[in-house]
Structure 1
Amino acid sequence: MAGRRTDTRERIQRVALELFAERGYDKTTLQEVAERLEITRPALYYHFRTKEAILSSVVDRLVVSIDELVEWAREQPRTLEARQEILRRISGLLEDKWRPLFRFAQVNQGVVQELPDGSRMQEGVISMLSVLSAPEDDPVQQFEARLAVFAVILGSVPFLFDMRLPDADRAAVALKVATKLISQ
């Protein structure tokens, strides 16, 4: 039973983020979320009482996954192979979990800034940007490392690049560019 409840919560989160990105957070109602999911509002309320609760749960999951990634990355050796694996993991998390929230955040920047967990999200992204470089690296290396992470993140945003590529192909191109940046 717990598995079904978790699946439903994840579906609600995914659909709500899609609607928030399409229509804007303020213009989306819980009724619209329920209709898109083809469930009743009371069924939706069983899992989430408010839009804020949905968004907060998604941001919390993002922050936890970023923290876990950063912690893992900091334990890795400072080799090219380890840095490439860090980029692959960031790309995989974007594909698996983060892309909808990043798309939402781009469309609804004001909402994200007002979220109680919004600053935690920003801090997590900033710490993630620094995992590929060390303080002793020269400024060019540090900048390239941060650009590599940004390349992977930006590769998940279709409207920034008019490349007419499917999401998976665009993400693969972004990962290849990011890998070049850290391989110099």
Structure 2
Amino acid sequence: MDEKSTRRPGSETRAEILRVSLELFTERGFEGTSIRDIAEALGVTKSSLYYHFPSKEAIIRALLDGRRREIDELLAWVEEQPAGPDLLRRTALRWVESTGKERVQGMRFAHANRAIMQKLAEEGSDRRTWFDAVVDRVLADDAPTVTRLRAQMAFDTVSAALFAAQGTAASDDEVLTAAREATILLT
């Protein structure tokens, strides 16, 4: 087989770089993972990796861009929904139930790498505020502060369940079940 027939399209290569990087950053820490480590895990040269991403921070930014797109998709879905007292619950459950392995891995990364997440937040990539627009759309403008806080918490139940599960043998499915139940209680 010639070299061209074994090459992946650029979008597949980028996706694989993001997946492997996220695993390594979560396992070894952002600071403990080098570009060389990522390239070796992928079986590519560092220059090939640099072709797609100029730095480790660029990889993290691309991962965050993916999460931002998911929030934008959720907002678009909310816009199509009929208003009603259950809109918050339907929206928060949609978010929790759409949580897959990659998003769980991303949350684990965020928990394990607070320094880089704080740095990115200070530069304007504060993922915690992304749900403000969602909450604004599902609650009335005059909703009490406590209601708004509970709504914010409803969108953060997976992260909270992962935090609570640290040091336990809880599976991802158990974490997601706990998050789903907490979302229902909060909404």
State if a TM-score over 0.5 links the two structures.
Answer: yes
User: Normalised by the size of structure 2, how large is the TM-score?
Assistant: 0.77
Partner of 1:12: 17
> Residues 26-41 of structure 1: matches in 2 within 5 Å?
26-41=31-46
2:78 and 2:91 in contact (8 A); partners too:
yes
Partner of 1:90: 95
1:129 and 1:149 in contact (8 A); partners too:
no
Distance in structure 2 (CA, Å) of the matches to 1:97 and 1:73: 23
2:87 and 2:138 in contact (8 A); partners too:
no
Per-residue CA distance 1:61-106 (angstroms, 9 max, x = gap): 2222213323432553333554333123212443254323222222
Distance in structure 2 (CA, Å) of the matches to 1:62 and 1:70: 13
> Residues 82-121 of structure 1: matches in 2 within 5 Å?
82-95=87-100, 97-115=102-120, 116-119=123-126, 121=127
2:158 and 2:179 in contact (8 A); partners too:
yes
User: Normalised by the size of structure 1, how large is the TM-score?
Assistant: 0.78
1:3 Cα deviation from its structure 2 partner: 7.4
Distance in structure 2 (CA, Å) of the matches to 1:145 and 1:20: 30
> Residues 4-153 of structure 1: matches in 2 within 5 Å?
4-95=9-100, 97-115=102-120, 116-119=123-126, 121-128=127-134, 132-153=138-159
1:18 and 1:100 in contact (8 A); partners too:
yes
Unaligned runs of 5+ in 2: none
Give the direction of change, closer, same or farther, for the CA distance of 1:23–1:129 in structure 2 (3 Å limit). farther
- Runs of 4+ in structure 1 deviating by more than 6 angstroms, as ranges, are none
Question: What is the letter of the counterpart of residue 170 of structure 1?
Answer: V
1:25 and 1:111 in contact (8 A); partners too:
yes
Superposition RMSD in Å: 2.8
1:117 Cα deviation from its structure 2 partner: 4.7
Percent of residue pairs identical: 28
1:14 Cα deviation from its structure 2 partner: 1.6
Give the direction of change, closer, same or farther, for the CA distance of 1:133–1:164 in structure 2 (3 Å limit). farther
Per-residue CA distance 1:107-149 (angstroms, 9 max, x = gap): 2222123234524x34314434555433333444333322222
Question: How many residues get paired?
Answer: 179
